[in-house]
Amino acid sequence: MANLGYIGLGVMGGRMAARLLSKGHAVVGYNRTRSKAQALAGHGLRVASTPREAAAAADVTFVMVANSDALKSVADGADGFVAGLGAGKIVVDMSTVSPALSRALAARVREAGAEMVDAPVSGSVLTLEQGKLSIMVGGDRATFDRVHSLLEDIGPKVTYVGAHGLAVSMKIAMNISVAVQMLAFAEGILLAEKSGIAREVAVDVMTHSAIGSPMLQYRGPFVLRLPDEAWFDTTMMQKDLRLALDMGRELGVPLPTTSTTNEWLTAARAMGLADEDFAAVFQALARASGAER
Protein backbone atom coordinates (compact mmCIF):
# COMPACT_ATOMS: atom_id res chain seq x y z
CA MET A 1 0.00 0.00 0.00
CA ALA A 2 1.31 3.44 -0.92
CA ASN A 3 0.50 6.99 0.16
CA LEU A 4 -0.66 8.66 -3.04
CA GLY A 5 -1.93 12.03 -4.18
CA TYR A 6 -4.22 12.57 -7.13
CA ILE A 7 -4.73 16.02 -8.63
CA GLY A 8 -7.44 16.29 -11.28
CA LEU A 9 -10.46 14.09 -10.66
CA GLY A 10 -12.36 14.48 -13.93
CA VAL A 11 -13.81 11.81 -16.18
CA MET A 12 -10.60 9.76 -16.34
CA GLY A 13 -8.69 11.02 -13.31
CA GLY A 14 -11.55 10.32 -10.93
CA ARG A 15 -11.88 6.77 -12.17
CA MET A 16 -8.12 6.21 -11.91
CA ALA A 17 -8.12 7.48 -8.34
CA ALA A 18 -11.02 5.14 -7.56
CA ARG A 19 -9.05 2.26 -9.07
CA LEU A 20 -6.03 3.06 -6.89
CA LEU A 21 -8.29 3.19 -3.83
CA SER A 22 -9.72 -0.20 -4.77
CA LYS A 23 -6.17 -1.62 -4.78
CA GLY A 24 -5.77 -0.60 -1.15
CA HIS A 25 -3.71 2.55 -1.55
CA ALA A 26 -4.29 5.65 0.59
CA VAL A 27 -5.19 8.54 -1.73
CA VAL A 28 -5.39 12.26 -1.00
CA GLY A 29 -7.20 14.01 -3.85
CA TYR A 30 -7.64 17.54 -5.11
CA ASN A 31 -9.90 18.91 -7.80
CA ARG A 32 -10.69 22.50 -8.68
CA THR A 33 -14.38 21.59 -8.64
CA ARG A 34 -14.46 20.27 -5.10
CA SER A 35 -17.68 18.28 -5.57
CA LYS A 36 -15.84 15.85 -7.88
CA ALA A 37 -13.38 15.11 -5.09
CA GLN A 38 -16.16 14.82 -2.51
CA ALA A 39 -17.85 12.20 -4.70
CA LEU A 40 -14.88 9.89 -4.05
CA ALA A 41 -14.78 10.49 -0.31
CA GLY A 42 -17.20 7.60 0.19
CA HIS A 43 -14.63 5.33 -1.45
CA GLY A 44 -11.95 6.36 1.03
CA LEU A 45 -10.45 9.42 -0.66
CA ARG A 46 -9.18 12.15 1.67
CA VAL A 47 -9.99 15.51 0.12
CA ALA A 48 -7.22 18.11 0.02
CA SER A 49 -7.90 21.85 -0.05
CA THR A 50 -4.96 22.65 -2.35
CA PRO A 51 -2.64 20.83 -4.76
CA ARG A 52 0.20 21.57 -2.36
CA GLU A 53 -1.61 19.75 0.46
CA ALA A 54 -2.13 16.68 -1.73
CA ALA A 55 1.53 16.55 -2.80
CA ALA A 56 2.84 17.17 0.71
CA ALA A 57 0.83 14.23 2.07
CA ALA A 58 1.89 11.80 -0.66
CA ASP A 59 4.99 9.87 -1.63
CA VAL A 60 3.78 9.72 -5.25
CA THR A 61 1.44 12.36 -6.69
CA PHE A 62 -0.53 11.72 -9.86
CA VAL A 63 -1.68 14.68 -11.94
CA MET A 64 -4.24 14.56 -14.73
CA VAL A 65 -5.63 17.87 -15.90
CA ALA A 66 -7.12 19.14 -19.15
CA ASN A 67 -4.44 21.32 -20.72
CA SER A 68 -1.30 23.42 -20.28
CA ASP A 69 -3.05 26.27 -18.46
CA ALA A 70 -4.69 23.85 -16.04
CA LEU A 71 -1.36 22.15 -15.37
CA LYS A 72 0.33 25.47 -14.63
CA SER A 73 -2.51 26.48 -12.31
CA VAL A 74 -2.14 23.37 -10.13
CA ALA A 75 1.67 23.36 -10.26
CA ASP A 76 2.54 27.02 -9.67
CA GLY A 77 2.37 29.38 -6.72
CA ALA A 78 2.31 28.95 -2.96
CA ASP A 79 -0.57 26.45 -3.17
CA GLY A 80 0.74 24.57 -6.22
CA PHE A 81 1.91 20.98 -5.98
CA VAL A 82 5.56 21.88 -6.67
CA ALA A 83 5.58 23.73 -3.34
CA GLY A 84 4.52 20.51 -1.61
CA LEU A 85 7.39 18.41 -2.97
CA GLY A 86 10.60 17.32 -1.30
CA ALA A 87 13.35 14.74 -1.41
CA GLY A 88 12.21 11.25 -2.38
CA LYS A 89 8.82 12.27 -3.73
CA ILE A 90 7.65 11.54 -7.28
CA VAL A 91 5.18 13.25 -9.58
CA VAL A 92 3.45 11.18 -12.27
CA ASP A 93 1.98 13.66 -14.75
CA MET A 94 -0.69 11.97 -16.86
CA SER A 95 -1.82 15.18 -18.60
CA THR A 96 -1.39 15.62 -22.35
CA VAL A 97 0.53 18.86 -22.84
CA SER A 98 3.39 19.97 -25.07
CA PRO A 99 6.62 17.98 -24.67
CA ALA A 100 8.48 21.25 -23.98
CA LEU A 101 6.17 22.14 -21.09
CA SER A 102 6.46 18.62 -19.68
CA ARG A 103 10.27 18.78 -19.73
CA ALA A 104 10.26 22.23 -18.13
CA LEU A 105 7.98 21.01 -15.34
CA ALA A 106 10.19 17.94 -14.77
CA ALA A 107 13.16 20.29 -14.31
CA ARG A 108 11.24 22.36 -11.73
CA VAL A 109 10.21 19.21 -9.87
CA ARG A 110 13.85 18.12 -9.73
CA GLU A 111 14.85 21.54 -8.36
CA ALA A 112 12.39 20.87 -5.53
CA GLY A 113 14.27 17.66 -4.74
CA ALA A 114 11.72 15.30 -6.30
CA GLU A 115 11.45 13.41 -9.61
CA MET A 116 8.79 13.36 -12.33
CA VAL A 117 7.71 11.13 -15.17
CA ASP A 118 5.21 11.98 -17.90
CA ALA A 119 2.72 9.13 -18.19
CA PRO A 120 -0.25 9.82 -20.49
CA VAL A 121 -2.67 7.02 -21.28
CA SER A 122 -4.14 5.44 -24.38
CA GLY A 123 -7.72 4.33 -24.00
CA SER A 124 -11.10 5.50 -22.83
CA VAL A 125 -13.50 5.26 -19.93
CA LEU A 126 -14.47 1.79 -21.19
CA THR A 127 -10.91 0.46 -21.47
CA LEU A 128 -10.10 1.87 -18.03
CA GLU A 129 -13.13 0.19 -16.47
CA GLN A 130 -12.29 -3.06 -18.27
CA GLY A 131 -8.74 -2.92 -16.91
CA LYS A 132 -7.22 -2.62 -20.39
CA LEU A 133 -5.73 0.87 -20.30
CA SER A 134 -2.29 1.41 -21.87
CA ILE A 135 0.19 3.81 -20.25
CA MET A 136 3.32 5.33 -21.78
CA VAL A 137 6.07 6.69 -19.54
CA GLY A 138 8.89 9.17 -20.15
CA GLY A 139 11.63 10.18 -17.72
CA ASP A 140 14.52 8.62 -15.85
CA ARG A 141 14.47 4.83 -15.97
CA ALA A 142 15.11 4.56 -12.23
CA THR A 143 12.06 6.71 -11.47
CA PHE A 144 9.98 4.64 -13.86
CA ASP A 145 11.03 1.49 -12.03
CA ARG A 146 9.84 3.00 -8.73
CA VAL A 147 6.32 3.73 -10.01
CA HIS A 148 5.91 0.82 -12.43
CA SER A 149 3.81 -1.32 -10.10
CA LEU A 150 1.55 1.61 -9.20
CA LEU A 151 0.89 2.27 -12.87
CA GLU A 152 0.06 -1.41 -13.36
CA ASP A 153 -2.65 -0.95 -10.72
CA ILE A 154 -4.27 1.48 -13.19
CA GLY A 155 -3.66 -0.40 -16.44
CA PRO A 156 -1.90 -3.63 -17.44
CA LYS A 157 0.17 -2.27 -20.33
CA VAL A 158 2.91 0.08 -19.07
CA THR A 159 5.67 0.96 -21.54
CA TYR A 160 8.82 2.97 -20.92
CA VAL A 161 9.44 5.03 -24.07
CA GLY A 162 12.48 7.11 -23.11
CA ALA A 163 13.47 10.49 -21.74
CA HIS A 164 11.28 13.26 -20.32
CA GLY A 165 8.65 14.46 -22.76
CA LEU A 166 8.73 11.44 -25.04
CA ALA A 167 5.64 9.81 -23.53
CA VAL A 168 3.52 12.88 -24.26
CA SER A 169 5.06 12.97 -27.74
CA MET A 170 3.92 9.36 -28.20
CA LYS A 171 0.42 10.15 -26.89
CA ILE A 172 0.02 13.11 -29.25
CA ALA A 173 1.21 10.97 -32.18
CA MET A 174 -1.33 8.28 -31.28
CA ASN A 175 -4.24 10.70 -30.95
CA ILE A 176 -3.74 11.77 -34.55
CA SER A 177 -4.87 8.30 -35.62
CA VAL A 178 -7.78 8.24 -33.19
CA ALA A 179 -9.20 11.52 -34.50
CA VAL A 180 -8.51 10.81 -38.17
CA GLN A 181 -10.11 7.35 -37.90
CA MET A 182 -13.24 8.91 -36.46
CA LEU A 183 -13.56 11.39 -39.32
CA ALA A 184 -12.95 8.70 -41.96
CA PHE A 185 -15.54 6.49 -40.25
CA ALA A 186 -18.04 9.38 -40.32
CA GLU A 187 -17.43 9.88 -44.04
CA GLY A 188 -18.00 6.20 -44.76
CA ILE A 189 -21.18 5.99 -42.68
CA LEU A 190 -22.68 9.04 -44.37
CA LEU A 191 -21.74 7.83 -47.85
CA ALA A 192 -23.44 4.49 -47.13
CA GLU A 193 -26.49 6.17 -45.60
CA LYS A 194 -27.05 8.55 -48.49
CA SER A 195 -26.74 5.57 -50.84
CA GLY A 196 -29.79 4.09 -49.14
CA ILE A 197 -28.29 1.92 -46.36
CA ALA A 198 -29.70 2.43 -42.86
CA ARG A 199 -27.25 4.22 -40.58
CA GLU A 200 -27.54 1.49 -37.93
CA VAL A 201 -26.74 -1.20 -40.49
CA ALA A 202 -23.72 0.73 -41.79
CA VAL A 203 -22.37 1.15 -38.25
CA ASP A 204 -22.82 -2.56 -37.52
CA VAL A 205 -21.10 -3.65 -40.73
CA MET A 206 -18.18 -1.25 -40.46
CA THR A 207 -17.43 -1.83 -36.77
CA HIS A 208 -17.34 -5.59 -37.39
CA SER A 209 -15.21 -5.39 -40.53
CA ALA A 210 -11.49 -5.16 -41.23
CA ILE A 211 -11.56 -1.43 -40.40
CA GLY A 212 -13.17 -2.04 -37.01
CA SER A 213 -10.29 -1.01 -34.75
CA PRO A 214 -10.81 -1.30 -30.98
CA MET A 215 -11.42 2.47 -30.89
CA LEU A 216 -14.10 2.31 -33.60
CA GLN A 217 -15.75 -0.68 -31.97
CA TYR A 218 -16.48 1.26 -28.78
CA ARG A 219 -16.79 4.78 -30.20
CA GLY A 220 -18.40 4.01 -33.58
CA PRO A 221 -21.88 3.56 -32.05
CA PHE A 222 -21.64 7.14 -30.80
CA VAL A 223 -22.69 8.26 -34.30
CA LEU A 224 -26.10 6.81 -33.42
CA ARG A 225 -26.26 8.41 -30.00
CA LEU A 226 -23.64 10.49 -28.22
CA PRO A 227 -22.92 9.44 -24.62
CA ASP A 228 -24.50 11.47 -21.82
CA GLU A 229 -21.00 12.18 -20.47
CA ALA A 230 -18.27 12.87 -23.02
CA TRP A 231 -15.44 10.36 -22.74
CA PHE A 232 -13.07 12.79 -24.47
CA ASP A 233 -14.71 15.97 -25.66
CA THR A 234 -14.27 17.87 -28.92
CA THR A 235 -12.31 20.70 -27.30
CA MET A 236 -9.85 18.27 -25.70
CA MET A 237 -9.27 16.37 -28.93
CA GLN A 238 -8.70 19.59 -30.84
CA LYS A 239 -6.18 20.64 -28.20
CA ASP A 240 -4.23 17.44 -28.89
CA LEU A 241 -4.38 17.91 -32.66
CA ARG A 242 -3.09 21.45 -32.30
CA LEU A 243 -0.20 20.11 -30.24
CA ALA A 244 0.46 17.62 -33.06
CA LEU A 245 0.38 20.35 -35.70
CA ASP A 246 2.84 22.43 -33.64
CA MET A 247 5.15 19.40 -33.39
CA GLY A 248 4.78 18.75 -37.11
CA ARG A 249 5.89 22.28 -37.98
CA GLU A 250 8.79 22.06 -35.52
CA LEU A 251 9.97 18.65 -36.70
CA GLY A 252 9.25 19.07 -40.40
CA VAL A 253 6.58 16.37 -40.62
CA PRO A 254 3.61 17.14 -42.92
CA LEU A 255 0.32 16.22 -41.22
CA PRO A 256 -2.32 16.54 -43.96
CA THR A 257 -5.03 14.35 -42.45
CA THR A 258 -4.48 15.94 -39.04
CA SER A 259 -5.03 19.38 -40.56
CA THR A 260 -8.27 18.33 -42.21
CA THR A 261 -9.61 16.65 -39.08
CA ASN A 262 -8.72 19.72 -37.05
CA GLU A 263 -10.91 21.85 -39.34
CA TRP A 264 -13.88 19.54 -38.83
CA LEU A 265 -13.39 19.72 -35.07
CA THR A 266 -13.50 23.51 -35.45
CA ALA A 267 -16.77 23.10 -37.35
CA ALA A 268 -18.19 20.85 -34.62
CA ARG A 269 -17.30 23.39 -31.94
CA ALA A 270 -18.89 26.18 -34.00
CA MET A 271 -22.09 24.11 -34.15
CA GLY A 272 -22.27 23.99 -30.35
CA LEU A 273 -20.70 20.53 -29.95
CA ALA A 274 -17.56 21.58 -28.04
CA ASP A 275 -18.48 19.70 -24.86
CA GLU A 276 -19.72 16.57 -26.62
CA ASP A 277 -17.50 13.54 -27.19
CA PHE A 278 -15.27 14.21 -30.19
CA ALA A 279 -17.30 11.61 -32.10
CA ALA A 280 -19.54 14.66 -32.62
CA VAL A 281 -17.39 15.33 -35.69
CA PHE A 282 -19.93 12.96 -37.29
CA GLN A 283 -22.79 15.33 -36.44
CA ALA A 284 -20.88 18.22 -38.03
CA LEU A 285 -20.32 16.25 -41.22
CA ALA A 286 -23.93 15.02 -41.21
CA ARG A 287 -25.21 18.58 -41.11
CA ALA A 288 -22.96 19.51 -44.02
CA SER A 289 -24.25 16.44 -45.89
CA GLY A 290 -27.91 17.21 -45.26
CA ALA A 291 -28.21 13.97 -43.30
CA GLU A 292 -28.77 15.34 -39.80
CA ARG A 293 -31.48 13.61 -37.80
Distant-in-sequence contacts of 185-188, Cβ < 8 A, 24+ apart: 185/211, 185/216, 185/220, 185/223, 185/282, 186/223, 186/281, 186/282, 186/285, 186/286, 187/285
Residues 6 or more apart whose CB falls under 8 angstroms from that of 236 comprise 66, 67, 278
CB-based burial label for 29 (10 Å; 0-12, 13-18, 19+): buried
d(CA 73, CA 183): 33
* List 23, 36, 132, 171, catalytic entry: 171
171 is catalytic: yes
DSSP one-letter string for 163-218: STTHHHHHHHHHHHHHHHHHHHHHHHHHHHHHHT--HHHHHHHHHTSTT--HHHHH
Residues 6 or more apart whose CB falls under 8 angstroms from that of 60 comprise 2, 3, 4, 5, 89, 90, 91, 92, 147, 150
Active site residues: 171
